Amino acid sequence: MGSMDCNAFFNQLDRWMEGERSAGAQAHLRGCPGCRGIVGDLDGIQQTARSMEAADAAPPERIWIALRAQLEQEGLIHEERHGWAEALRGWFDGVFSAVPRPALAGAYLVALIAVSIALAVPGYRRFNGTQVPTQPLTAQLNTAEQDAISSMMNSDPAVTASLQKNLAIVDNYIALCEKSVQEEPENEVARDYLYEAYQQKADLLAQITERGDDR
Amino acid sequence: MSSQPSLRSQRCWKTSAVLVPGLLLMGASPALADRIERHFKVDARPVVTIHNPTGLVTVRAWTKSEVMVVAKRATDRVDVDTEQIENRVEIVTRQIPDNASPADLRADLEISVPEDAELQIHNDSGGVNVSNVLGDMNVETIAADVALEDAAGYLTVKTVDGSFVCTRCAGRIEASSISGNFRFIDLRSYHVRAQTSEGNISFNGQFLPNGTYELKNYSGIIEVRFSPNDSFDMSATSLKGKVNNEAKLTPSMHHHGFGRFANSLFGTMNTGRAKLDLSSFNGTINILKKD
């Protein structure tokens, strides 16, 4: 059997993640570092989600609802053009279905970030020749940020100031890293820093929300 | 950093938040409530969870099989609840009225624990000082500085902009922050993973055989001090900044460089028994001789 292309591989990515691995997909993955990277990211997300299943924390409805609505409304990727997007989103839902919602808020963001960056950076943009816009992700992060900040209304002003200052720091690094990735699309180190900066922001937002809900 | 310890602590805080007000429930008189002392008999390896958003948390090890809590409240608008569940002692500071100001909510805690105690500490602002505790530790703060002395076990420290100083620590250390500075002094750890975005990282300690030392930031300075007899295999990369090195390294054959995109240095000192990985986005990395 001949090796499939990236788009064909993506069409069955959800099945791959559930263990259904055809010889063609395996052959493609062996020869495609881009798809290997994405599968690696998704594996990491799956493991993270599993590790969260044991947690029994109470749900912060606000951020969950906001993120969920945002995801459903905007979509991370263009469903009308990519059938695999819907399947992948279904896989996400399945993976995170057992995860408690507070963990989910952060984890979902991190997951979206991971896939978004994997898809959006130039090194991965060869699927169907289509670029994946990062605006929906930015919008989700902004919504999450607004929710998180508003949840801190009654908090210690010094703590709130510290959190806002550090959000600005992370935003600045995201901007620097994005610039760097745009200037040097093949630079894996810059891409890793960008991914980590986004991850740090998601983590910080989840932390702020949790603090807000504790009060 | 692994999210597992964080989740574990989060669960504890949530559990703590619904505790039936415990033995330290305050009376109406602020004067009577200024200092409270409670004792809990524990077995080996007790778990002590401390949730004190505002105020200083000081934990010291002692030789008794007992946990002692001394709480000093700023006002009677803050309660300190404690509860013992089997071999776990939970200490939770919480506000009584909703409209209390942050200053009203301050409580300083001094806690004595057996040296093999496991600690889970959450403190937003104030500070965390722990000395001579050898059990695992998970500390999470926002603005509070963290200082650990003579600690061991699996140490995870997460701050937003609080600094972290670890003096004579051993075991495994994982630390993360956004703008906090890290200082590792006379370290004897076999595994260190430290990441801060805007902070500086200073490492002065032993490189143990088979030890791994991973220090990373976005900006700021990473400074590592070495002795002539230290043995490590080093990778130092600053994407947009500088790498300054005083170590005599033999070129490493098994590193693939990022020379095209970054300022990198790879090499082995002596026999390369430890692994040292230093990376920065636009900060400066200094590998310097010990004074």
Q: In this predicted model, what pLDDT tens digit does every residue of B22-74 receive, in sequence order? A: 333 333 334 445 788 999 999 999 999 999 999 999 999 999 999 999 999 98
Q: By mean pLDDT, which of A14-28, A51-65, B141-155 is the weakest?
A: A51-65
| Helices A188-214 and A157-183, packing angle to 10 deg | 160
Cα separation, B29 vs B79, whole angstroms: 12
The winner for highest mean pLDDT among A107-121, B244-258, B275-289 is: B275-289
- Check if the beta carbon of residue B74 is closer than 8 Å to that of residue B145: no
pLDDT tops 60 at residue A70: no
Cα separation, B182 vs B145, whole angstroms: 10
Mean pLDDT over B266-291 rounds to: 94
pLDDT tops 50 at residue A38: yes
Query: Could you tell me the two tokens for A54?
Result: 């044991």
pLDDT tops 80 at residue B260: no
- Please report the pLDDT score of residue B57 as a whole number: 98
What's the per-residue H, E or C state across chain B? Answer: CCCHHHHHHHHHHHHHHCCCCCCCCCCCCHHHHCEEEEEEECCCCCEEEEECCEEEEEEEEECCCEEEEEEEECCCCEEEEEEEECCEEEEEEEECCCCCCHHHHCEEEEEEEECCCEEEEEECEEEEEEECCCCCEEEEECCCCEEEECCCCEEEEECCCCCEEEECCEEEEEEEECCCCEEEEEEEEEEEEEEECCCCEEEEECCCCCCEEEEEECCCEEEEEECCCCCEEEEEEECCCCEEECCCCEECCCCCCCCCCCEEEEEEECCCCEEEEEEECCCEEEEEECC
Q: Model confidence at A26, in pLDDT bands (50, 70, 90)? A: confident
Q: How many angstroms separate the most distant Cα atoms in chain A?
A: 64
Q: Tokens 């409270």, residue?
A: B36
- Check if the beta carbon of residue B288 is closer than 8 Å to that of residue B248: no
Query: Could you tell me the two tokens for B272?
Result: 């390369």
Residues of B within 8 A of A158 (CB-CB) are: 102, 125, 143
pLDDT tops 70 at residue B213: yes
Range of the domain at A51: 6-214
- Please report the pLDDT score of residue A83 as a whole number: 54
This model of the complex carries an ipTM of 0.80
CA distance, residue A187 to nearest chain B CA (Å): 7
Residue predicted with more confidence, A195 or A173: A173
pLDDT tops 90 at residue B206: yes
Task: State what percent of residues in chain A have pLDDT above 90.
Answer: 4
- Please report the pLDDT score of residue B22 as a whole number: 38
Determine contact: B103 vs chain A, CB below 8 A: no
CATH for B4-24+33-289 (3.40.50.10880, 2.160.20.120, 2.60.40.10, 1.10.30.50): 2.160.20.120
Q: Model confidence at B4, in pLDDT bands (50, 70, 90)? A: very low
Task: Give the number of other CB atoms < 10 A from CB of residue A128.
Answer: 12
Q: Tokens 């998704």, residue?
A: A42
Q: What is the DSSP letter of A215?
A: -
CA distance, residue B7 to nearest chain A CA (Å): 7
- Please report the pLDDT score of residue A13 as a whole number: 79
- Please report the pLDDT score of residue B273 as a whole number: 94
Instruction: Please answer yes or no on whether B261 and A170 come within 8 Å at the CB atom.
Output: no
Q: Tokens 């808020």, residue?
A: A105
Q: By mean pLDDT, which of A12-16, B191-195, B250-254 is the weakest?
A: B250-254
Q: Minimal CA–CA distance to B121: which of B150, B94, B155, B149?
A: B155
Displacement of CA B193 from its chain's centroid (Å): 11
Residues of A within 8 A of B94 (CB-CB) are: none
- Please report the pLDDT score of residue A81 as a whole number: 43
* pLDDT tens sequence across A93-150: 565 555 554 445 555 565 555 555 555 544 444 333 344 444 555 666 677 677 777 7
Instruction: Please answer yes or no on whether B161 and A57 come within 8 Å at the CB atom.
Output: no
Q: How many angstroms separate the most distant Cα atoms in chain B?
A: 71
Query: Could you tell me the two tokens for B163?
Result: 């600094």
Q: How many domains does chain A have?
A: 1
CA distance, residue B50 to nearest chain A CA (Å): 14
Antiparallel, parallel or unpaired: β B107-114 and B221-226: unpaired
Opening angle at CA A138, ends A134 and A139, nearest 5: 120
Cα separation, A106 vs A100, whole angstroms: 11
**Domain locations in chain B as residue ranges:** 4-24+33-289
Mean pLDDT over A185-208 rounds to: 83
Q: Model confidence at B8, in pLDDT bands (50, 70, 90)? A: very low
* pLDDT tens sequence across B121-147: 999 999 999 999 999 999 999 999 999
Q: What part of A 44-63 touches B (C-beta under 8 Å)?
A: 48, 51-52, 54-58
Mean pLDDT over A72-87 rounds to: 46
Residues of B within 8 A of A187 (CB-CB) are: 239, 258, 261
Q: What is the DSSP letter of A46?
A: H
Q: Model confidence at B222, in pLDDT bands (50, 70, 90)? A: very high
In a domain, A1, yes or no: no
Q: What is the DSSP letter of A82?
A: -
Using CA atoms, how far residue B167 sits from A128, B130, B177, B185, in Å, is 54, 10, 18, 5
Q: Model confidence at B259, in pLDDT bands (50, 70, 90)? A: low
